Structure formats: structure tokens, C-alpha cells
Structure 1
Amino acid sequence: MPQTLDAHQRIPDSMAGLRLDQAAAELFSDYSRERLKAWIKAGSLTVDGSPARPRDKVHGGEMLTLVAELEDDARFEPEDIPLEVVFEDDDVLVIDKPPGLVVHPAAGNPDGTLLNGLLHHCPALGVVPRAGIVHRLDKDTSGLMVVAKTLVAQAALVEQLQARTVSREYDAVAVGTMTAGGTLDAPIGRHPRDRKRQAVNDSGKPAVTHYRVIERFRAHTHVRCRLETGRTHQIRVHMAHLRYPLVGDPVYGGRLKLPAGAGDALKEVLREFPRQALHARKLAFVHPTSGATMTFRAPLPDDLLMLLDFLRDDRETMR
């Protein structure tokens, strides 16, 4: 049975000059730009109460009103994919995503994704946009994600993400010996020459990562990162920009670097590590119904524990 969506967003002055569909995609980020364009054309999304065209420019200060019916999304099939459920109630679902699991179907991954598994686990998510997914992890990043089970919960969680009040911490293993932690405030956008990559550039969106050293090795560092923003590949891009790329990162890692004098076992682990060494270890947010602060932690997966053990053995052996 369809659910009625009734949402309102005021266009900030910073968006002046954007097309209406571009601004709408930023403000109603739960929905694809194509779906929003269709709603604009149908008159379901209005500007100050009047219909408009997707290409119309906005000036800032206008009120966008979106009133539409959400039908079950029949494009995606439920699949019996095992999910590591950390917490679940009537409003939210917290999972510990394994590495290798794609979050949302796309051209190269039409099925076998977390979204397909969510639809099997909770069929009611079929009427919630993106099956309740409000933030993503890269395919090969493991760890905690929160999923909204209702439209109200989804709107509340998206608002928290936009207000930067959701706390997200990650553990990573970086190449190079980091001397101290710090904060990197550097905008991230599309790479100017490679559209599949992100990069630090002045035309990108604001991105802030706080990082601190957990443990140093001879040529690597176990680092903990806390996000203020949630840009695509943010930690991977920021760490590479600092010249401490993550172990195993196939996009931003650069050439493989092996510690001088390392044993064959460590060399093999570093050569064969199958993914970027990144894990979403901690997640905290305000429950959309109770108002209580919810905090969750996920232990490091076996592959990262093994990597750290080999790095410790190497450090002790070379003393």
C-alpha cells in the first residue's frame, strides 16, 4: 500500500544559481535526482507553492514542498543474504556489514547487495526509499551502518547526518609511520581527470576528518578517524592526501611498499590483503522516536586483526 510523503525544505542562499533539480537532490537526498525530476514535472514538488521546471534556477530562500505517494519499489528483489544484526526495533536497524558486500544495486551490481538482503529481512522496507539506507559504506569497507525502518525515522536520521550530529569512527591501517594525529579540513570532489575517483580540490564539498594514532609499526600506523562530514571515499582520499594511504586500497593506495627487512610472511600478507584496511568501528545517533542517544561498537574483523598481528610481530622481530 503506498505511503504519502509530505516534506518541506527551504533553499539556503549558498545554493543560489543551481538548477531546481540539483538543489532538490541536495535537500531531499533520500531520493534520486531522476525521481525528483519526475515529481517536479508532475507538480508534486513545488517552489513557494507553485509548479516549476527542473531546469529553473533557484535564488535562495524559496520553500520547496514535496507531496507524493511512495509505491513499493519493485525494481529490487528480496534476497536471503545473511546480515549481522547488532540492534533492531520498530524504527531502526543497525548492522555490521562484512567486507565485499555492495550496499546498493548499480549497473555493475544489480543484485546480491545489502539492499536486497534488507528487503528479505524486513519486507516492509519496500515502501521506504532505498530500503531505509541513509548512509553508505564502500563495498570493501566493513562495519556499522544504521538503516531506517520507517519514513519518519529516515527523515530524522537524514536530518542528523546533515547536521553532522551522527558520530562515526573508523579504524584504519595506513602505509607510513604517522608521527601524530590531527584534523584535515580539505574539500573533496570528483577527480578532474578520472571520474571514478574522488580527490581533494577547491571546487569540492567541505570534508573534515579528525584522526589520531592508535599504534605505530615500523612502516605502518593503526589510525582512528572520526568523520564530521560523509563524502564519498572521504577517509581514503584524506589519508592518501596526507601521504598515508590505506593498506590494500586499490584506488588511492599507490604502489605497494614493503618494510625493509620484512619477513616473507608479512610480505605475503601485505601483497595479498584483499581490500582497503578500513572498518567502521563506532556509530552513535539519537533514536528518532525515543530521543535517547544510541551508541554501537563493532570489533575489528579477522582480516584486520591478522594484519595488525603480523605488523606487531615484524616490529618486535626487528628490535
Structure 2
Amino acid sequence: MEEFMSKMLVFDLIPIIVVMILGYAAGKVNAFQADQARVFNKLVLDFALPAALFVSIVRADRAMLVENAALSIISLVGLVALFMVSYFTVQLFFKRTKAEGAVCALIAGSPTIGFLGYAVLDPLYGTGVETGLVIAIVAIVVNAITIPIGLYLLNAGGGGDKSAGGASQGNALLASLKEPVVWVPILAVALVLVGIKVPDEVDPTFDLLAKANSSVAVFAAGLTLAAYKIELDWEVAYNTFFKLVLMPGLFLIAGWAAGLDSLILQMLVLSVALPPAFSGIIISSRFQVYTRTGTSSLAVSVLGFIVAAPVWVYLARLAGS
């Protein structure tokens, strides 16, 4: 466990914190103007992130999803349900708008599986089939289902495409489907389900663009943080609790009740306990919705994950045994 924590700190969390601090410092000294920061967000959301999602999803296969039906069902039902719980409760408890609730759910209700999945799980569990299986299934649900739902709710609430805001449910759906971060992962899932294998030779082309995803997204998150004072209030505490405690706790119970293999259960719980999805912060910054509280929730959750990760690994091992 100590070796795992040291690897996770050195190879995952410290680089994230350092790059975010660099972005924060660049914003504070006005090295980048607001318009330039929005260019970073557009680069990630419209190009780098869709490329990363496409590559990660098409590496899965249909047989993998069918043979692990329990894991697939728990991931699908659990992540979508908790996403919607976050969406509704932030409106109920903190009087947020529907658009703000959508962005909150994209942050507090979504793990950053696309950024940190392999980086966090590989040092502890290796690069075997099980690791790729868990990451692929969670990534498909987060990137091909909850992100499209979140963008639809954002547009329906008047926070996304202003031409679609509140006009009709159809317009909001159409505006969401126009976003590359929505239709690209849906296309990738469709290819997996019909059994079309994307040639491995295509990977380097997408990987080159996808590599900009994590670094630019974290740097842009730091720029966004610089524009706002970091808040430590009840809403940030609630979002952090929701992401680091409630979500992995419920998945631990569900996976244990379903009789998941011990190793699969551990990886699933740790995947769900990952910090908030950086894609939610990018969407928040691009549309200027829920930015201050969203970025504060991200910063606190990244630090909180250092404590939460070993606790959930330990509890999942106990449950699995």
C-alpha cells in the first residue's frame, strides 16, 4: 500500500497539482488573457478530449461488455443514477439553476477516468485485462452517456448554446449532439457494439492529439482558478463528500452485493473515487456556468483523494475477501 501511494503521488497527483499551480500562477500574473484561456478550453473540449475518448473507447470490444454484464450494469446504473442525484440535490440544497446543476453533476458526479484511470490503477493492479476492462466500461458510461446527458441538461437549462436555451427540448438535444465531446464517444461506442474494429495503425494519429488532453486541461483549470477566489463553503464540502465518499461507498456496497470478483471490485471502487472529471471544468469554463464553485470543488477533491484512495482500497479488499 505504501508503494502504491508513493507511485500515485509521484506519477499522478503531484504532476496534476504542479501543472494546475503553473496555470494558476500564469493567470495571476496575466500571462494569458481571458480570451486566450477560452482558446485552451476550446482546444480540449472540441479536439483533444474527443480524440482521447475515441481512442480509449474503441480499444474495448463487444465480448468484453457482454461477458462482464454485472460490472457493466452496476457501472451504467450507478453512474447515471448518481449523476442525476447530484444534478437534483444541488438545486434542492443550494438553490442552483438547472444549468448550474448540470455542470455540478459533470464535476461532482463524474470521475476523471479518462485522465487518471490507467495512471492510478496500473501501479497497483498492473496492466492486465482486468484493469483495461474496468477502465473501459467506466469510461464508456462517463464519456458516452453522462457527458451527453450533462450537455443536454446544460442546453435545456439555458446555459450552453444560447440559441437553444429553453427554446425546446429538441433544440437542446440538437445543440448537445453538435458538440464533438458528445458525438465522438457515441460513435466510438456504436463501433464497439456492432463489432467494427478500428485498425491499430490509426491509434498514433489520435494519440498525438489526445496527449494534449490532460496537460492542457489541467493547465486551463489552473487558469480558471486564478480568475476566482477558491471557496471553502458547504457546497464545496458537499460536492467533495459526494465525489470521494458517497459515490465509492455506494459502488462498494453494490459490487459486494453483486458478488464481483475481489480485484474487479477494488478497481471499480477506486475508479469511481477518482477526482472530478476535468471535462466538467472545461465545460464550466467554456460556458461560464458554475465556474467558481466547480473549480473549488475540483481543487479540494484532488487533495482529498490523497487521503480517500488508500482508505477505499483497504475497504474494498476487506469486502472482497
TM over 0.5: no
Higher RCO structure, 1 or 2 (CA under 8 Å, sep 6+): 2
Structure number having the greater helix percentage:
2
Structure number having the greater strand percentage:
1
